[in-house]
Structure 1
Amino acid sequence: MNAIRQATAFDFAKLLTLGAIWGAAFLCIKLGLEGFAPITLAVSRTLLGVVVLLILLAATGTKLPYRRRDWGWIAVIGAVNTSLPFLLIAWGQQFIGAGLASILMGAGPFVALFANHVLTHDDRITGYKVAGMILGLLGVMILVGGEALTGLTASFFGQLAIVGAAASYAASGVMTRKISHLPAASGASATLLMGAVYLLPAAFIFEAPLASRPGIAAIAAVLFLGLVSSGFAHLLRFQLIRDTGAVFMSQVSYLVPLFGVFWAWVFLGERLHVEAWIALALILSGIGISRLRRKRKARLLDEL
């Protein structure tokens, strides 16, 4: 397991990019569900993502992993990081709104915080990290609004599915560090490929994917989900976990709803209210505060 390092400005830029991509993904999932069943949607985006990453491997001359031990971890990560959360989110969003889903996904960073504290030696709980997580979640709740919480009783199983997806992503972050010695493109391709291996037979067993008759909007949504949200974003996620740790990476959950509001302003002309700016300040402050103690330690070590 490679040791993580202090996040740089470039890492923060990657985190913002992931937030921007996944901020649009929830909307695309809603559109995609109008033409595809949940498992079919999940496997379609996964296969498209695999194609993107395999092309990248061929272009760069990078090979897929070959060690049996690596593939053991990849088999587990493919299920926990790809097939399970993709399926849970697509299924859960049939019953709850995107706002409530955003709040529930905010559970992920807290799960990642405790899981990494127990299972790693260099990504431990600190007061700064806890404070940062709380600020980020508070920002999401202000952004989405208290009315989203009124849906907490509407669909228990839909909500449980989203929380399960958040926990699954958090757990997979710890596991991904087990293959952090692999090139990013290689590890990302292999785990996404395993996710497709699980989802493809499930789609044919429980649904009829070849009978889907999606419209143009649903097809466009799946193309974005596959090529950008699954393929390109999966590569960035692998890089961030490998370099900066799963806790830092998990805070993208707070940026996702913020960018969802931003895209609605850009493409739909929806007005940005003052709550959005307050949420932005809280979320970015939370991400920054969560790294303060590590910076101080690094500075002391340099002085010694």
Structure 2
Amino acid sequence: MTPIRPATAGDAAKLVALGAIWGSAFMCIEVALQSFGPLAIAAFRVVLAAALLLGFAFAAGLRLPHAPRDWSLLTLVGLFGAGLPFLLISWGQQHIEAGMAAILMGLGPFAALLLNHVFTSDDRLTWQKLAGVMLGFAGMAMLVGLEGLLGGRTTLIGQLAVLAASFCYSLSALLTRKLSHLDSRVSAGAVLLTAGLYLVPAALLLDPPWRVVPSGEALAALLFLGVVSSGVAYLLRFQLIKDTGAIYMSQVSYLVPVFGVFWAWLFLGELPSEAAWVALALVLLGINVSRLSRRRSQPAA
């Protein structure tokens, strides 16, 4: 794997941009669902984003990898890092609001902590990390429990779908570092290409786009999801993981729920409930607490 380096101010700017972009995806999915089904949304996202990134890569003289091991990893990352989460989030948002979906995605860092403890030897659970995990899950339990009971069975299922998507992203991050020897445009584009192999045949069979007469708003939201929330965002994600590591990139989880709630309020008029505000506070507090031991163990720059 390519060695990582200390994060720079440019990396911090990329991290904030990634948080803002990913936070906007929930709002765009809610708008796109007015005309398109969740399977069509997920398939369109990966196709447009893959074409964009691979087009840039080929124009720069880059080529797709040849090693079977690389394609095995790309296929797995495509499944857990794009195909499944895109579909789960779009499907889940049929039953919950954009702001709630963004908060639920804040589970990602806690899932990453548990996965790293099981599958790595250099990022084990500590008491601080365990306390952070407990705070984060308390926030999720408050949000899912109260909102799920009030909203009924379909609301609860939608919430669980988004939580499963967050877990998929965390699982894919464990594999993405193994692709750091590839150019970010190639790896991100190839991952989205493999995700399309799962999603496009299913969408053509079960949710054919020619049956839809989309509104202008839904079509614009879908284009934004493909170009910006998928194409640009995945390029930033892979660059950050390659340059600074998955742990630094995971800090975007501070930003995604905040931006998600903000965009949903600004453009959709969605006001979070009291339970949502408490859940958001517990999630952000839990992420900070879980990182205390890591901060203390890092040498001063």
Checking the alignment, whether the CA contact within 8 Å between 2:139 and 2:280 is kept in structure 1 is: yes
Question: Which residue of the partner structure matches residue 153 of structure 2?
Answer: 154
How far apart are residue 175 of structure 1 and its match? 1.2
Give the stretch that moved more between structures: 22-31 or 132-141. 132-141
170-179 or 111-120: bigger deviation: 111-120
**Structure 2 CA distance for partners of 1:276 and 1:114, relative to 1, 3 Å:** closer
- Taking a change above 3 Å as real, the CA distance of residues 170 and 270 of structure 1, as seen in their structure-2 partners, is closer
Measured after TM superposition, the shift of residue 108 of structure 1 is 1.9
Counterpart code for 2:187: G
Summarize the alignment of residues 1-304 of structure 1 with structure 2, pairs less than 5 Å apart. Answer: 1-127=1-127, 129-130=129-130, 148=147, 150-151=149-150, 153-155=152-154, 156-264=156-264, 267=267, 293-299=293-299
TM superposition score normalised by structure 1 = 0.82
Q: CA deviation at 1:170?
A: 0.8
Count of residue pairs brought into register by the alignment: 300
Q: Which consecutive residues of structure 1, in runs of 5 or more, have no partner in the other structure?
A: none
Q: Are residues 38 and 270 of structure 1, via their aligned partners in 2, closer, same or farther at CA, if it must alter by over 3 Å?
A: closer
Contact preservation (8 Å) 1:22, 1:256: yes
Change in Cα spacing, 1:263 to 1:235, as seen in structure 2 (3 Å) is: same
Secondary structure of the structure 2 residue equivalent to 1:259: helix
Change (3 A) 1:79 1:148: same
Q: Distance in 1 between matches of 2:294 and 2:39?
A: 41
Q: How many percent of aligned residue pairs carry the same amino acid?
A: 52
Output the amino acid matched with 2:211: A
Check whether the contact 2:100–2:272 (CA below 8 A) recurs between aligned residues: no
- Residue 119 of structure 1 and its aligned partner are, at CA, apart by 2.0
Instruction: Tell me the CA shift for residue 147 of structure 1.
Output: 6.5
Bigger drift between 157-166 and 282-291 goes to: 282-291
CA pair 263-106 structure 1, distance change in 2 beyond 3 A: closer
Q: Is the 8 A contact 1:32 1:217 kept in 2?
A: yes
Is the CA contact 2:31–2:218 (under 8 Å) kept in the aligned structure 1?
yes
Structure 2 unmatched ranges of 5 or more: none
- Which range moves more in the overlay, 39-48 or 206-215? 206-215
1:51 counterpart letter in structure 2: A
Contact 1:6 1:294 (8 Å CA) reproduced: no
* Shift in alpha-carbon separation, 1:97–1:269, aligned structure 2, 3 A: closer
Which one-letter code corresponds to 1:200 in the other structure?
Answer: V
Deviations 1:246-276 (A, max 9, x none): 3443343342231133335655788999x99
CA distance in 1, matches of 2:186, 2:295: 30
Shift of 1:239: 2.0
Aligned residue type for 1:195: A
C-alpha RMSD over aligned residues: 3.5
Distance 1:84 1:271, change over 3 A: closer
